[in-house]
Each structure stands twice: as C-alpha cells, then as structure tokens.
Amino acid sequence: MYRTLKILSLMTLSVSTLAIATPFSLSSNDIAQGEYMSKAQEFQGFGCSGDNISPQLSWSLAPEGTKSFAITAFDPDAPTGSGWWHWQVVNIPKHISQLSSGAGDAANSEIPSGSTQISNDYGSQAYGGACPPIGHGVHRYRFTVHALSVETLELPSDASGALAGYMINANTIASSSIEALYKRE
C-alpha cells in the first residue's frame, strides 16, 4: 500500500511539473509549421511578384530573465552556401508579445519603438519575402523569436545578418520557431 501511494505521489508530482513548465512559444495567424506560405509573404522583386508582407507573429511564456526579444527569418536552403537572411528585428522591448502583419515594412512604422531592423540579404532594413529560384524545390523559412538576456544588442548601423545572428545567438536564453515552406515552379 505504501509503495502504491508513493508511486501515485510521484506520478502526480510529474504531471504537475509538466503543467507548470510550459514552453516559450511562437504562433502566427499568417504562417504555420510545415505549411506553405501565401503569395502575401513572397518578395516583390528579383523576378518575384508577391506582396512582401511580413507575417503576424505572437509569442508567449517568455522565460524569467528575458530583457528583450529578437525576430529572425532565415532560409537555410538558399543556394548561397550560407543561407539567406530575410528579416531580423532586434531590441524589441520585453513588454511586447506580438508583431502585426506587415510590421516589417521599410518605413518602420509598425515595429515597436526602440527596435531596429537589420539589413536583410536583399539589402534593405525590412522584411524581404520568400523568392527561391524557379525549379529549385521547396525552401524552408525559419521564423524564430529569441528571448534575450540583454535589453539592447549593441550593433553597428550597417551590421551584417551574420553579425546580428551571432549577437542574437550569444544572448538567447530561449527561442521558438515556425518553419514555413515556399517554392516557385
């Protein structure tokens, strides 16, 4: 009887711990894990004719110690040898938990005050949508929110995607991603 009660107590404790330890998570009204993005998220230029609208993103359950956030969008399948940075936003204040659809516009009208968009691999400080080469197959677009241990990443105004990525990763205490897909035929 004592052994049965002890096992039940341990099982209850395990279930309670799982219920409390919910993970930092990212969600979107515009993109979904393993699903194809719409033409709205396709780039406009480089032979692509999409709307170039950054997806809505929201996150929850940031870990203790979070002082700011960063958003990244990266295509590891780009035929560059180093992938392709589509979007990086740094220094998002810790009280912010979402970016609206279109927040990545070049006018910076929708990103939170104090935040900075890093130059993408198209050469603009904005969201640059999907534009894989025709016939290159399916590309993965990894949208990630990073909970950072610092309020401000000190980056030069002309920081490269690689430098921003390094500083983001060096200060990340938790992250969550949605990997959406896109292809052109």
State the Cα–Cα distance between residues 132 and 17, nearest whole angstrom: 43
**Is residue 15, in this structure, part of any structural domain at all?**
no
For the chain, give the number of residues.
185
Please state the pTM of the whole predicted model. Answer: 0.88
| Average pLDDT estimate for 53-59 | 98
What per-residue confidence (pLDDT) applies to 108? 87
Per-residue DSSP letters for the chain? -HHHHHHHHHHHHHHHHHHH-PPPEEE-SS--TTSBPPGGGB-EETTEES---PPPEEEE-PPTT--EEEEEEEETTSTTTT-EEEEEEEEEETT--EE-TTTT-TT--SSPTT-EEPP-TTSSSS---B-PPTTS--EEEEEEEEEESSS-----TT--HHHHHHHHHHTEEEEEEEEEEE---
Lookup result for tokens 């990525």: 165
**Is residue 136, in this structure, part of any structural domain at all?**
yes
pLDDT surpasses 60 at 149:
yes
What per-residue confidence (pLDDT) applies to 109? 87
What per-residue confidence (pLDDT) applies to 138? 98
**Is residue 6, in this structure, part of any structural domain at all?**
no
pLDDT surpasses 70 at 171:
yes
**Is residue 73, in this structure, part of any structural domain at all?**
yes
**Residue 29 sits in a domain of what CATH number?**
3.90.280.10
Residue 169: pLDDT band (50, 70, 90) is: very high
What per-residue confidence (pLDDT) applies to 137? 96
What per-residue confidence (pLDDT) applies to 21? 59
**Is residue 16, in this structure, part of any structural domain at all?**
no
**Is residue 117, in this structure, part of any structural domain at all?**
yes
The domain containing residue 153 runs over which residues?
A: 22-182
Question: Could you report the per-residue pLDDT of 63-121, keeping only the tens digit for each?
Answer: 999 999 999 999 999 999 999 999 999 999 999 999 999 999 999 889 999 999 999 99
Residue 169's CB is within 10 A of a number of other CB atoms, namely 13
Q: Domain count of the chain?
A: 1
Question: Could you report the per-residue pLDDT of 121-145, keeping only the tens digit for each?
Answer: 999 999 999 999 999 999 999 999 9
Residue 9's CB is within 10 A of a number of other CB atoms, namely 10
**Is residue 155, in this structure, part of any structural domain at all?**
yes
Question: Could you report the per-residue pLDDT of 6-41, keeping only the tens digit for each?
Answer: 444 444 444 434 445 569 999 999 999 999 999 999
